[in-house]
């Protein structure tokens, strides 16, 4: 293990603005944990964008090494579940928010947060999927647990060109669902159809104030957008359907009513990837190995080097990233 290594450090100035610097770090800069992982691959999620730009108060400890996801190799462990050489994945648990994160060559983590890389998913694929893709899987699993099946009708996916959206479309398409993709980038219609969508709608159709109830258009949804969009999705969900809510790209609010719940028996399923229990994580990763077509994953993935992370973090907040970004560490 190197004494000094590359990383990114976030600090705050007196005006509470976020200052982002590429810096040489040492293990003293990392918080406690019983496993040290050499980060081989990481990624840029929407939350990483919020942390690096300071646009939302994602970071709750300063200074902070950002980065909420990694795949890599254990180099030191006093945790009985892991030993040096194990290939692992980390998502969430407040890493990059309250615990120093993965935008550095090494991350010191709690072994209870780690999942072993499943057969069929190497480090690059794991980070091409990342928190966004694993959240898409959790959302699909929640719809399945609710009892939705392809014969019940279409599923709408909002934020279709984003990380959660693209993986959700690929998964649902492979599982035999008819997928309606809602996007502000209709010029990407062919790309979304290749992934598995059968119909593309403009997100403007869903972004204004919702009626209490509207024409029934789908049996369910995966919503990465929140706010009016989620309210419209709910108001257009057919009797007994369900919507998995995982995101807030339009806003944190939910200007809806109880009408879809009490008049159509619609269910709103909350999805949290950060504190999801280990058994659910392991199930989600095993399902991703089985149900996510590697060619589709490659089609949504852009690979960058660590030197480009800060720019990509700004781009994701500006809605300029299509699909998923995977970051190869050590590629300077």
Which residues make up the interface to ligand NDP (CB under 6 A)?
45-47, 131-132, 135, 159-165, 183-185, 203, 207, 224-225, 229, 246-250, 271-274, 316, 319, 321
- Which residue lies nearer to ligand NDP by CB, 141 or 249? 249
Q: What is the 3-state secondary structure (H, E, C) of 72-103?
A: EEEEEECCCCCCCCCEEEEECCCECCCECCCC
Helix axis angle for 46-53 and 309-317, nearest 10°, is 100
For residue 199, count CB atoms less than 10 angstroms from its CB and return exposed for 0-12, middle for 13-18, buried for 19 or more: middle
Instruction: Supply the minimum distance, in Å, between the C-beta of residue 45 and ligand NDP.
Output: 5
Looking at beta carbons only, is 8 or 44 nearer to ligand NDP? 44
CB of 148 to ligand NDP, least distance (A): 19
In whole angstroms, the minimum distance from the beta carbon of 41 to ligand NDP comes to: 16
Do β-strands 237-245 and 218-223 pair in parallel, antiparallel, or remain unpaired?
A: parallel
* Assigned token pair, 231: 């309210």
Q: How far is CA 222 from CA 38, 180, 183, 255, 331, in A?
A: 34, 10, 13, 18, 35
* Number of other CB atoms surrounding residue 294 within 10 Å: 12
**Distance of closest approach, residue 196 Cβ to ligand NDP, in angstroms:** 14
For residues 138 and 246, is the Cβ–Cβ distance under 8 A?
yes
Buried b or exposed e, range 34-44, using 16+ CB within 10 angstroms: bbbbbbbbbbb
Q: What's the closest the beta carbon of residue 238 comes to ligand NDP, in angstroms?
A: 23
In the complex with ligand NDP, which residue's Cβ is closer, 77 or 182? Answer: 182
Nearer to ligand NDP, 6 or 135 (CB): 135
Q: Which is nearer to ligand NDP, 88 or 167 (CB)?
A: 167
Contacts from 55-58 at CB under 8 Å and sequence distance 24+? 55/317, 58/96, 58/97
DSSP E strands, 27-77: 35-43, 69-77
CB of 80 to ligand NDP, least distance (A): 28
Alpha helices in the chain (DSSP H): 46-53, 123-146, 163-174, 189-195, 227-235, 259-264, 278-291, 294-300, 309-317
Cβ closest to ligand NDP, residue 131 vs residue 235: 131
Distance (Å, whole) CA 256 – CA 311: 35
Distance from chain centroid for Cα 231: 21
The CB-of-36 to ligand NDP minimum distance in angstroms stands at 25
Smallest separation (angstroms) from ligand NDP to the CB of 167: 8
Q: How far is the CB of 125 from ligand NDP (least distance, A)?
A: 17
* Position closest to ligand NDP via CB: 162
Q: Is the peptide bond before 2 cis (omega within 30 degrees of 0)?
A: no
Nearer to ligand NDP, 100 or 273 (CB): 273
Closest to ligand NDP by CB, 5 vs 247, is: 247
Q: By C-beta, is 238 or 273 nearer to ligand NDP? A: 273
């Amino acid at each position: 293990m190197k004494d000094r290594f590359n990383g990114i450090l976030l600090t705050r100035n007196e005006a509470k603005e976020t200052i982002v610097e590429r810096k040489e770090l040492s293990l003293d800069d990392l918080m406690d944990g019983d496993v040290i992982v050499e980060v081989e691959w990481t990624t840029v999620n929407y939350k990483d964008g919020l942390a690096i730009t300071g646009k939302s108060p994602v970071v709750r400890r300063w200074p902070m090494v950002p980065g909420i996801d990694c795949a890599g190799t254990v180099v030191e462990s006093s945790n009985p579940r892991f030993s040096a050489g194990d290939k692992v994945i980390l998502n969430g648990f407040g890493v990059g928010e309250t615990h120093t994160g993965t935008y550095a060559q090494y991350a010191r983590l709690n072994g209870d947060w780690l999942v072993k890389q499943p057969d069929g998913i190497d480090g690059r694929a794991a980070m091409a999927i990342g928190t966004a893709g694993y959240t898409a899987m959790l959302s699909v699993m929640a719809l399945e647990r609710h009892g939705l099946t392809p014969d019940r009708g279409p599923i709408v996916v909002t934020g279709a060109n984003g990380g959660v959206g693209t993986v959700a479309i690929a998964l649902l398409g492979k599982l035999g669902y008819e997928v309606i993709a809602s996007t502000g980038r209709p010029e990407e219609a062919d790309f979304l159809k290749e992934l598995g969508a059968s119909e593309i709608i403009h997100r403007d159709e869903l972004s204004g104030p919702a009626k209490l109830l509207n024409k029934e258009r789908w049996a369910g949804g995966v919503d990465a957008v929140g706010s009016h969009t989620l309210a419209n999705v709910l108001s257009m969900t057919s009797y007994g359907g369900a919507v998995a809510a995982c995101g807030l790209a339009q806003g944190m609010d939910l200007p809806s009513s109880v009408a879809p719940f009490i008049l159509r028996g619609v269910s709103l399923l909350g999805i949290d990837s950060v504190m999801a229990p280990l058994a659910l994580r392991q199930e989600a990763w095993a399902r991703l190995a089985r149900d996510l077509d590697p060619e589709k994953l490659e089609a949504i993935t852009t690979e960058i080097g660590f030197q480009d992370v800060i720019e990509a973090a700004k781009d994701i907040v500006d809605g300029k990233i299509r699909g998923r970004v995977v970051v190869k560490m050590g590629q300077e």
